[in-house]
Structure 1
Amino acid sequence: MTERQPTPPLVEAVGITKRYGPTTALLNGQLTVRQGESHALVGRNGAGKSTLVQILTGLQAPDSGTVRFDGAPAPALTDRDAWRAKVACVYQKPTVVPQLTVAENLFVNRQPTGRAGLIDWRRLRREAAELLDHWDVRVDPDARTAELKVEDRQMVEIARALSFGTRLIVLDEPTAQLDNREIERLFTRMRALQESGVTFLFISHHLQEVYEVCQIVTVLRDARWITTAPVATLPREALVEAMAGESAAHREDTARTPVPADAPVLLDVRALTGEAYEDVDLGVREGEVVGLAGSSGSGKIQLAETLAGLHRPRSGTARLAGTALPFGDVTATLRAGVGWVPRDRHDQGFVPAMTIGDNATLSVLDRLAGTPLARRLGFLSTERRRALAADLVDRLDIHAEGTHQPVSDLSGGNAQKVVMARALASDPRLLVLVNPTAGVDVKSKESLLARVDTARDDGTAVLVVSDELDDLRRCDRVLVLFHGRVVAEHPAGWHDHELIAAIEGVARDRHAPDRHVPDRHVSDQDR
């Protein structure tokens, strides 16, 4: 009697390496997903999750390594139909066309046609209704997609993917825009689809969700595979440890002089509510650095951008040194005493064709007139502008030929220093920094963070919004946002795993024994 061969994994990636120039996005990554399971892929920002998903969905080719579906090699990148039959990804941002109906979105670019080659609308609606009914997606085929709830749009995208024949769905942060009831309904639908043979690769920053809906979890850290294990056998503190890369016994040395208890509150935020955050109370004292941490859907960046004048909140107040901040007016906000380093220096931070000096002084042009008459006429003092720019270049240690050099010629670290210089040029009372060291080298990173320390010593209130733990270590305390609400506060000296647990929404038992996670691959016996 012939021994039955084991069923190959639905998808298997082995030895996946991908580099972009000098940056290693993924090194020797691996993933094995079997039919009918919900498999979580977790890791902090920069861990390599997005790169692995791009390779698994045929958007990028690995530099080395192999991807196999049902034991067979992955299709050629140019064969998009073959990829659609293997795997589909439902992203945070919808890929449906909002102006079209549900039926039109389900069969876009493959509408059934009649004898004259025209679209057979009756057949289109009938086949759409049959597809939705088959997968128990309770949405009107004739409804405009723009009018659907987020959860229903997601289910339409899932149904569309399943209509191509795929049984592997990648869900990329599917709960980021859902409330608790919508999340529970999504999980109920996922479980029902699993029973029908659909397999999910579930990507989430909220580890609580991993324990609710997934059976297996794979952890990436620093562009490397760390571990794969059954969720039921992996304690939550151990999962956080795997993501953080430290044991609970490790604590970073963050000794610093505490902010005086009687230091005046410069930034006073009360019950601030916007599109992505709700009922936020926040205070930053003179000479205090406060961090804002949270996942991509936490609302931290939108909150910071509101304080910098980019958005108007729905309700609530924010006062700087007793004066209300002028929401929705960037120029007025800068004049009110706010310095701003945006999250994307290329799109929001500088004008590439302009010089270092011009970029660094953009926020203080009204101060660079030589006389009151020149100020009224809009004339600038070239000498004063050159002197200020030279001083900023020196203070920020910007490596350049001179203030006349275009910012486009600079390295990423020096370009970011120019953005920081512009924020500091106005001697702000409040400095709002979003991902201030993103994409810079180690030396530039330390230089930028040293400027944060200097601002603190000068009595500036500093708000640091970052995904980088090293940025947050310079803070006197860190507030954690989860689903738009402040849920935790950590004073300086926090453990990495404690902060990450709060960011990921894990209610951690502080008295539970710490467990070490070995770097290993799950075996079939573990399942």
Structure 2
Amino acid sequence: MSVVDIAPRPLVAAEGIVKRYGPTTALRDGRLTVIPGESHALVGRNGAGKSTLVSILTGLQAPDEGTVTFDGEPAPPLTDRDAWRTKAACVYQKPTVVPQLTVAENLFINRQPTGRGGFISWRRMQTEAVDLLDTWDVHVAPDAVTSELSVEDRQMVEIARALSFGARFIVLDEPTAQLDNKEIERLFDRMRSLQESGVTFLFISHHLQEVYEVCQTVTVLRDAQWITTAPVSELPRTALVEAMAGEAIADRVTMSRSAVSDDAPVLLDVRGLSSDVYTDIDLTVRQGEVVGLAGSSGSGKIRLAESLAGLYKPHSGHAQLAGNDLPFGDVTASLRAGVGCVPRDRHEQGMVSGMTIGDNATMSVLDRLGRSGFVGTSAKREFATDLIKRLDIHAEGPDQPVSDLSGGNAQKVVMARALATEPRLLVLINPTAGVDVRSKESLLSRMDSARDDGTAVLVVSDELDDLRRCDRVLVLFHGRIVAEHPAGWHDRELIASIEGVDRG
């Protein structure tokens, strides 16, 4: 008599998930099957659909099509938050605990145990917090103020809180992004221990070596749809990278223009720059050169670029632009030093929504448009009109409120302001994020023009199409530059460096 292996019933299953936001399809075929007690990795490039799928699996939004089940039963309705808390929880990069409260208060927020007269019983809360922390082997004091905990301990408090509701499916969204190597090892040890206690994890990370270290199964999303699910032990790293990159684009190469001459003067020279999130950075950008910075969300690439633009002050090291020291931590001084910047968030950092296109585009050059603090209206309109024409901003004119513009045209206004000062160094941070195809090409053309004019350009982007316009791309991993790819790189090679995969 033969024994037939029966596959365990999935703890979580998502089938045929479709989610649209207006004309944008964030997920067109989302699928996921997670077995009880495993750590299941969900990987994919930015924009692949991971965050959308997680929001559906944790009850933050409903799919337009498809089904989600927990242990074979349909997912609760969105309005039943108590039921969702017993099914799933997500621990995000940014903590959701209240930093001013103690650990015990965070564990029982909005459900504090009460005593006589219906008042909160602080003694009972402390006792129950100790029991909960002991049950899940979380080594923090219940009366500790949460803001004083390490990142890894805050994460464990969030996991314990989720488990206390009865949830046994925990999503970890980039949990290692702010941890050092020893903290990462401790987190993985805790994950393994919790798995043995019946907890199931969905692990999201851009660091693929972590997938192979802590996960048993991996699912790949690409271009808003499911690509493959496989046991980690049966999927070589090169195959995983190729699944993320896509065979159709893997061998597409970059540039057709001539390389920057080795004799071109170095405009930006960075030596030994270090901060909380990047370490010992050395880099140069020559006149008329475009250098890309690539890396995962926790690599330190954005903070490095923002430091060079004057937004932050590093702990150590120095940088010179055209032979003069860059004034870290002072945006106004950086502008005077010759740095132009397109920041990562055009709404929060790049524009003043209550002002006109002309006001936004010229605010960095007002001193050039008037004398003694007075700015001529006609001079400002003429300057702004020229910028609108040069950047092909589709608008009624410089007096139109910038809040009326589409995302692509609004980003062109931010680019116009950065170029208005005729910078020696142009820092672009995710310059084409959230814009349409035509606007993207227009913005990248302006980057090309700046290069041709002799500007040194530093571009940080998660979009491979942006990085293809670069003369070379530097890859940051855990705050250090670990690779340099000259123009002509293959997608799979760059992604392997970003994900920390040694292609040998």
Q: Does the alignment reach a TM-score above 0.5?
A: yes
Match of 1:233 in 2: 234
Deviation at 1:253, TM superposition (A): 4.0
- TM alignment of 1:366-385, pairs within 5 A: 366-369=367-370, 375-376=371-372, 378-385=373-380
User: C-alpha separation between the residues in 2 aligned to 1:404 and 1:165?
Assistant: 56
Worse-matched range after superposition: 389-398 or 236-245:
389-398
- TM alignment of 1:407-418, pairs within 5 A: 407-418=402-413
User: C-alpha separation between the residues in 2 aligned to 1:399 and 1:110?
Assistant: 53
Deviation at 1:353, TM superposition (A): 2.6
Structure 1 residues 242-277: Cα deviation after superposition (integer angstroms, max 9, x where no partner): 111127971324122111101111011111112211
- TM alignment of 1:193-272, pairs within 5 A: 193-246=194-247, 250-272=251-273
Deviation at 1:25, TM superposition (A): 0.7
Match of 1:328 in 2: 329
- TM alignment of 1:73-222, pairs within 5 A: 73-222=74-223
8 Å Cα contact 2:250/2:491 also seen in 1? no
User: C-alpha separation between the residues in 1 aligned to 2:39 and 2:16?
Assistant: 22
Question: Against the structure 1 CA distance between its residues 247 and 507, is the aligned structure 2 distance closer, same or farther, given a 3 Å change threshold?
Answer: farther
- Flag structure 1 segments of 5+ consecutive residues without an equivalent: 370-374, 510-527
Q: What SS does the aligned partner of 1:383 have?
A: helix
User: C-alpha separation between the residues in 1 aligned to 2:8 and 2:209?
Assistant: 31
Structure 1 residues 130-189: Cα deviation after superposition (integer angstroms, max 9, x where no partner): 111111111111211111111111111111111111111100000000000000010011
Tell me, yes or no, if structure 1 residue 8 matches structure 2 residue 9: yes
User: C-alpha separation between the residues in 2 aligned to 1:459 and 1:41?
Assistant: 42
Q: Which amino acid aligns with 1:207?
A: L
Question: 2:399 is matched with which residue: 370, 395, 404?
Answer: 404
User: C-alpha separation between the residues in 2 aligned to 1:382 and 1:74?
Assistant: 60
Tell me, yes or no, if structure 1 residue 463 matches structure 2 residue 470: no
User: C-alpha separation between the residues in 2 aligned to 1:285 and 1:333?
Assistant: 18
Deviation at 1:281, TM superposition (A): 0.8
- Flag structure 2 segments of 5+ consecutive residues without an equivalent: none
Structure 1 residues 300-335: Cα deviation after superposition (integer angstroms, max 9, x where no partner): 111111111111111111111011111111111111
Percent identical: 78
Provide the aligned C-alpha RMSD in A: 1.5
User: C-alpha separation between the residues in 2 aligned to 1:181 and 1:64?
Assistant: 42
Q: Which amino acid aligns with 1:432?
A: V
Q: What SS does the aligned partner of 2:365 have?
A: helix
Deviation at 1:5, TM superposition (A): 7.5
User: C-alpha separation between the residues in 2 aligned to 1:47 and 1:452?
Assistant: 26
Tell me, yes or no, if structure 1 residue 340 matches structure 2 residue 341: yes
Worse-matched range after superposition: 378-387 or 25-34:
378-387
Deviation at 1:38, TM superposition (A): 0.4
Deviation at 1:46, TM superposition (A): 0.6
User: C-alpha separation between the residues in 2 aligned to 1:247 and 1:179?
Assistant: 36
User: C-alpha separation between the residues in 2 aligned to 1:125 and 1:299?
Assistant: 38
- TM alignment of 1:304-453, pairs within 5 A: 304-369=305-370, 375-376=371-372, 378-453=373-448
Q: What SS does the aligned partner of 2:129 have?
A: helix
Question: 2:495 is matched with which residue: 493, 496, 500?
Answer: 500
User: C-alpha separation between the residues in 2 aligned to 1:7 and 1:320?
Assistant: 61
User: C-alpha separation between the residues in 1 aligned to 2:144 and 2:127?
Assistant: 14
Deviation at 1:359, TM superposition (A): 1.3
Q: Which amino acid aligns with 2:436?
A: D
Q: What SS does the aligned partner of 2:473 have?
A: strand
TM-score by length of 1: 0.93
Structure 1 residues 221-252: Cα deviation after superposition (integer angstroms, max 9, x where no partner): 11111111110000101100111112797132
Structure 1 residues 88-134: Cα deviation after superposition (integer angstroms, max 9, x where no partner): 11111111111221112111111111122122222211111111111
User: C-alpha separation between the residues in 2 aligned to 1:157 and 1:32?
Assistant: 24
Deviation at 1:450, TM superposition (A): 0.7
- How many residue pairs get aligned? The number is 502
User: C-alpha separation between the residues in 2 aligned to 1:353 and 1:115?
Assistant: 53
User: C-alpha separation between the residues in 2 aligned to 1:392 and 1:29?
Assistant: 43
Deviation at 1:383, TM superposition (A): 2.7
8 Å Cα contact 2:98/2:146 also seen in 1? yes
Deviation at 1:83, TM superposition (A): 0.5
Tell me, yes or no, if structure 1 residue 480 matches structure 2 residue 481: no
8 Å Cα contact 1:14/1:67 also seen in 2? yes
User: C-alpha separation between the residues in 1 aligned to 2:6 and 2:240?
Assistant: 33
Q: What SS does the aligned partner of 2:374 have?
A: coil
User: C-alpha separation between the residues in 1 aligned to 2:87 and 2:377?
Assistant: 62
8 Å Cα contact 1:241/1:248 also seen in 2? no
Tell me, yes or no, if structure 1 residue 28 matches structure 2 residue 23: no
